[in-house]
Amino acid sequence: MPDTVMARPADARGAPAFVRAEGLSRYFDVSPPLLNRLLEGKPRQILRAVDGIDFAIGKGETFSLVGESGCGKSTVARLMVGLYRASRGTVEFDGHDFGRMTSRRAMAPIRSRIQMIFQDPYASLNPRWRVREIIAEPIRAYKLLSGDQAINARVDELLRQVRLTPADGVKFPHEFSGGQRQRISIARALASNPEFLVCDEPTSALDVSVQAQILNLMKDLQRELGLTYLFISHNLAVVYHISDRVGVMYLGRLAEVAPARTLFRQPRHPYTRMLLDTIPDMDMTGRQRTPVAGEVPSPINPPSGCSFHPRCPFANDRCKTERPNPIQQGDALIACHGVEEGRVPDGPIGTAQAA
Amino acid sequence: MADVTAPPGALRRFVDSDVFYSFRQSKVTVVAAIVTAIIVIGAFLGPWIAPHDTYDVRSLNLLDAFTPPVWSEGGNPSYLLGTDDQGRDVFSTILLGARVSLLVGFAATLFAMILGVLLGLISGYVGGTTDAVIMRIADIKLSFPAILIALLIDGVARGIIPRDMHDDLALYVVIFAIGISNWVAYARTVRGSTLVEKNKEYVQAARIIGLHPFTIMIRHVLPNVLGPVLVIGTLGLAGAILAEATLSFLGVGVPPTRPSLGTLIRVGNNFLFSGEWWMTIFPGVMLVILVLAVNLLGDWLRDALNPKLR
């Protein structure tokens, strides 16, 4: 399969991949209970939340995944930190494949090097714990420091690193605003000196002004500590701001992977283009645009062939029957028969449709 | 904010809290709390403040049997509420009986609580087959009346334990029997709350750190599911005291030599129709007051901890 080679790119600068997912899949069994299946003859139902995606992230790089609700972004995030086990495929971190690791013990050596920042700052901190204890938990769990004094000093340092004050450590999470809580969450994630941070929509629950602060903080920390980010978001503006490379997900698969600049200047995949068309823009006032029509189909019963074909204005018979594989086009990887065959024109989709 | 403001002391925070405010606002609750406190303290200090040691058979005088309360004709000032058929001071037996009742009530509730909370936590957190097995056992348990299970355990225990140890172990058997028949309420509540909590992101953060599931259950989930448990526990305490009284009344509870309120009511019941009403009425009134006060406290706690009712 020629595309397998293509699907294993190094990162944008040609450095070897630090984190790599290959054929990564996660299926959920959502079948009705056994009795219903036996008595009512209902079939087993498998939800393919993530269905064979490949990407690689270089050290110090920010790789983003974007897509509509239910496309499997968050499942990928959970797979990448080992909260879920992969149904198929591998997740490689610095040469360790942990996609199928079953025991906590097997994960232990790389545990402290991977951390996660969560979406909901109101749920991600234990309401009964003081901030100091929350941040110190990874340090104690991995026995990185011994003695309360050393741990307290480290927590103070972490609080300052996320632009809070050591005095905040004695408070409870409910005494903070959403943005401050997200800083606490980041401090906890940094406590174990991780190299790879998975950020699952870290700003989507915050006010716009606070979003920018958190994003800038994350960028600063990346520069200072050499962090590698996997950034999950549905907010394209945020993604453009923070990413080096972007993967567009649709229904558990990657539609397009490209450097952020390329993706936003020259989107190739019809889905990416429709997504970008939805960004409100002062220049676009009055311009005819094509909204992303319809809804994401059910991942329990995905469409045949290219899963985007029911919503794609360029779909033909091949799209309905054959699943497209990612093909290298310039510096982008695009899974689209239309782009491969040159059927998809470069102009805005709205005009193309009218023509 | 350069200076570190010291967190206010625990007592100060409690006095300032919403819960304490709603406590002060409700006169019924304050009275119930005072009554409960008096009974608990009285029962705790029973052996020292009771005018007669009714456990000491040598101190009993059969000639004093069936003395009516002090204000009735033939009353004896040294027996405030009269005496029973063996000449025991009713007031002293009530104090010592409340002690046994409260001991059994507290111990049985604590036992049910620990068992129920643990099983509920495991059931909710682990899920899958473990969850199904524990919950089906709970369903089976629920399909029997609690008192029937307590009777069954008591009967089995009497069959197993040697006869001469019956009286010594009776107390523990009752505690076990009542505890076993009450754990389901805790298990179900905790399981429900655990299912909610375990999907919250702070639990996932703990899982990413790689903590042992048991550590996560105890350190993270448990403190967040205890609120409802406290309410059920308070209401369950009243239930357990009543259950003990019922068992003792039926004659399978604690032995008459160290009577609880239920035993006193049963013994006195034999003489109710021959006119010696005080032997059964006073322990009965005591039981009603105690259970009512604890129940009122439980009701208040349930409302105070439920933000929707504020």
Residue with the bigger pLDDT between B25 and A129: it is A129
pTM to 2 decimal places: 0.79
Judge: B204–A83 Cβ closer than 8 Å, yes or no. Answer: yes
Judge: B4–A167 Cβ closer than 8 Å, yes or no. Answer: yes
What is the model's pLDDT at position A15?
54
- Residue-wise DSSP of A56-108: EEETT-EEEEE--TTSSHHHHHHHHTTSS--SEEEEEETTEE-TT--SHHHHH
Do A200 and A74 contact (CB within 8 A), yes or no? yes
Is the pLDDT at A345 greater than 60? The verdict is yes
What are the backbone angles phi and psi of residue A98, rounded to the nearest 5°?
Answer: -115, 10
Q: Please give the average per-residue pLDDT across B16-21, as a whole number.
A: 75
What is the model's pLDDT at position B245?
86
Q: Please, what is the average pLDDT of chain A? A: 83
Identify which of A81, A165, A166 has the shortest CB distance to residue B208: A81
Q: Please give the average per-residue pLDDT across A145-152, as a whole number.
A: 89
Q: Please give the average per-residue pLDDT across B93-110, as a whole number.
A: 88
Q: Please give the average per-residue pLDDT across A336-345, as a whole number.
A: 83
What is the model's pLDDT at position A6?
39
Cβ–Cβ contact B307 with A under 8 A: no
What is the model's pLDDT at position B4?
46
Nearest residue on chain B to A117, judged by CA atoms? Answer: B205
pLDDT digits (tens, 9 = 90+) for A236-295: 888 988 999 999 999 889 999 999 988 888 888 888 888 887 776 666 566 566 666 677
| Strands of the sheet with A96-97, listed across from one edge | A46-58, A17-29, A88-93, A96-97
Rounded to a whole number of angstroms, the distance from the CA of A99 to the nearest CA of chain B is 14
Which of A276-290, B255-269, B276-290 is modeled with the greatest confidence? B276-290
Cβ–Cβ contact A119 with B under 8 A: yes
Identify all chain B residues contacting A188, using CB atoms and an 8 Å cutoff: 205
Please identify among residues 36-75 of chain A the ones whose CB lies closer than 8 Å to any CB of chain B: none
Calculate what percentage of chain A has a pLDDT beyond 70: 88
Identify all chain A residues contacting B221, using CB atoms and an 8 Å cutoff: none
Of A243-247, A323-327, B165-169, the poorest mean pLDDT is in: B165-169
What CATH class does A2-113+194-354 carry? alpha beta
Residue with the bigger pLDDT between B48 and B115: it is B115
Mutate to test the interface with B, among A79, A112, A126, A140 (most CBs of B within 10 A): A126
Judge: B202–A188 Cβ closer than 8 Å, yes or no. Answer: no
What are the domain boundaries of chain A? 2-113+194-354
Question: Does the interface predicted TM-score (ipTM) exceed 0.90?
Answer: no
Judge: A127–B206 Cβ closer than 8 Å, yes or no. Answer: no
- As a three-state string, the secondary structure of chain B is CCCCCCCCCHHHHHHHCHHHHHHHHCHHHHHHHHHHHHHHHHHHCHHHHCCCCCCCHHHCCHHHCCCCCCCCCCCCCCCCCCECCCCCEHHHHHHHHHHHHHHHHHHHHHHHHHHHHHHHHHHHHHCHHHHHHHHHHHHHHHCCCHHHHHHHHHHHHHHHCCHHHHHHHHHHHHHHHHHHCCHHHHHHHHHHHHHHHHCCHHHHHHHHHCCCHHHHHHHHHHHHHHHHHHHHHHHHHHHHHHHHHHHHHCCCCCCCCCCCHHHHHHHHHCCHHHCCCHHHHHHHHHHHHHHHHHHHHHHHHHHHHCHHHC
Of A243-247, B116-120, B189-193, B227-231, the poorest mean pLDDT is in: B227-231
Q: Please give the average per-residue pLDDT across B199-206, as a whole number.
A: 91
Tokens of A116: 């996660």
Rounded to a whole number of angstroms, the distance from the CA of A281 to the nearest CA of chain B is 34
CA B193 vs CA B197, B200, B221, B277: distances in Å? 6, 11, 9, 48
pLDDT bracket for residue B8 (50, 70, 90): low
Is the pLDDT at B284 greater than 50? The verdict is yes
What is the model's pLDDT at position A347?
60
Which of A322-331, B189-198, B267-276 is modeled with the greatest confidence? B189-198
Cβ–Cβ contact B220 with A under 8 A: yes
Residue with the bigger pLDDT between B85 and B151: it is B151
What are the domain boundaries of chain B? 22-50+89-309
- Number of Cβ within 10 Å of residue A288's Cβ equals 11
Q: Please give the average per-residue pLDDT across A190-212, as a whole number.
A: 90
Identify which of A81, A83, A123 has the shortest CB distance to residue B200: A123
Cβ–Cβ contact B212 with A under 8 A: yes
Fold adopted by B22-50+89-309: MetI-like fold (1.10.3720)
Nearest residue on chain A to B213, judged by CA atoms? Answer: A104
Judge: A116–B204 Cβ closer than 8 Å, yes or no. Answer: yes
Residue with the bigger pLDDT between A257 and B83: it is A257
Identify all chain A residues contacting B209, using CB atoms and an 8 Å cutoff: 111, 137-138, 141-142, 192
Cβ–Cβ contact B1 with A under 8 A: yes
What is the model's pLDDT at position A293?
65
Q: Please give the average per-residue pLDDT across B261-266, as a whole number.
A: 83
What is the model's pLDDT at position A3?
39
